[in-house]
Structure 1
């Protein structure tokens, strides 16, 4: 990839430095072609910063193109992202910036991001936060998401928030026994929650989230949507704060 980029940069630099009428290698003799190549090589060796400048411009254009593509994907899926009618909404539901997280309770990077996300919401106070249950790491992940959604259905948003936090901090094996113990610890009705877990609506919600992720070209966790921007993977607190400031026009 680096070699191809360097080649593209060299051609770009040469095209800039050489008049269009003269830059026709096919019309050159072998001697002219060899001389031309030697001249280009000498120029680049004497001015290597040209390559770096060309690479930087290329990377900036690629990043801008990707950001535009992401913004279009977000706009096309706005209702499913921000107002699907079933996803849990935390933080400040009336916040001026909306952040969506696709997560898996067994994902190490999700757990690493968890305290940063929590601090972002608490310290800012004006962010609407939406959780998309996106279990992709096996049956334990699916079991945890089903339990969380069932808790929301049975006991409401506050109980879901407690379960969400507890599962993000949990380090053991996720099983029916461990989830029942978690419910007991939080004072929740484990029997009612486990009965709700067989509700087909829960499987539908998970399936809808997976389809949404596919449309957004999300294939890993954590993945975030900050307003009209996508953040795939873990990012530290300060980076997330910078994105929020940018969305508010403060950056």
Structure 2
């Protein structure tokens, strides 16, 4: 914020003073002192200009970031939307694709789980992809390995069941608890546990981490909706509005 104020002050001053007064290299010490005095006097008389300039600056920065995000999504579209290993839900034929990078130990991911469910219920034309992106420690990685191994061995329905169970699970994530999760859902745990450390599972996690790095994603949840990056938790109604805006573009 301090840096923004400094930049905005310079912007406000440049707009308020004659162009020739800004050639600092051509000023002598007396002229430079007078220039500084003019800046101070102007800002004291018109302090609201600083906040107006800050607002303009922030709008421009936000627009630039949004365009950068569009470019990032475009250049990584294949890995984002068609990686061949991520679970696909919602409406597979939907006109908009929503991708979530998530971690099972992330509190905001748990809140987002409910919001995404509501979104998919309210808008039946969204294709939804989950990217396993464990970043919050060993238990996060173990949970993702278990979910991915389940998907590889037992398919989409089994993955969805395990995913939903793990996102709601509050206990320690270890071999014993994962075995109970599998058994409760009707799956033999040993095969899943054996496959968790496979090269295939490790490669999927590595690909997801590499993609997140390309997209400048460092936290969860993070979303891609169509060509837009949605960085952080959003309620369903806000995501619905964004989806409607995308459809009208």
Give the TM interval when normalised to the shorter protein.
Answer: over 0.9
Alignment correspondent of 1:130: 129
What whole-Å deviation, never above 9, does each CA across 1:11-44 have from its counterpart, x for those lacking one?
Answer: 2122112221232234344444333333322222
Following superposition of structure 1 onto structure 2, how do residues 100-115 of structure 1 map, counting pairs within 5 Å?
100-115=99-114
List per-residue Cα deviations over 1:128-168 (Å, max 9, x = no partner). 11011111122211111111111112221111111111111
- Check the 8 A contact 2:21/2:35 in 1, yes or no: no
Equivalent residue, structure 2, for 1:215: 214
Name the structure 2 match of 1:34: 33
2:192 matches 1:193: yes
- Once residues 93 and 74 of structure 2 are traced to their aligned partners in structure 1, the CA distance between those partners, rounded to angstroms, is 20
* Corresponding residue SS for 2:128: strand
Query: SS in structure 2 opposite 1:106?
Result: coil
Matches within 5 A, 1:1-251: 2-249=1-248
Alpha-carbon deviation of 1:196? Answer: 2.9
Partner SS state of residue 100, structure 1: strand
Deviation at 1:170, TM superposition (A): 0.7
Cα deviation per residue 1:108-127 (whole Å; 9 max; x = unaligned)?
11112111111111111111
Root-mean-square deviation (CA), in Å?
A: 1.7
TM-score by length of 2: 0.93
Secondary structure of 1:219 counterpart: coil
TM-score, normalization by structure 1: 0.93
In structure 1, runs of 5+ residues without a counterpart are none
Instruction: Name structure 2 gaps, 5 residues minimum.
Output: none
Residues of 2 paired with 1:135 and 1:102: CA distance? 9
Tell me, in whole angstroms, the C-alpha distance in 2 between the residues paired with 1:32 and 1:207: 60
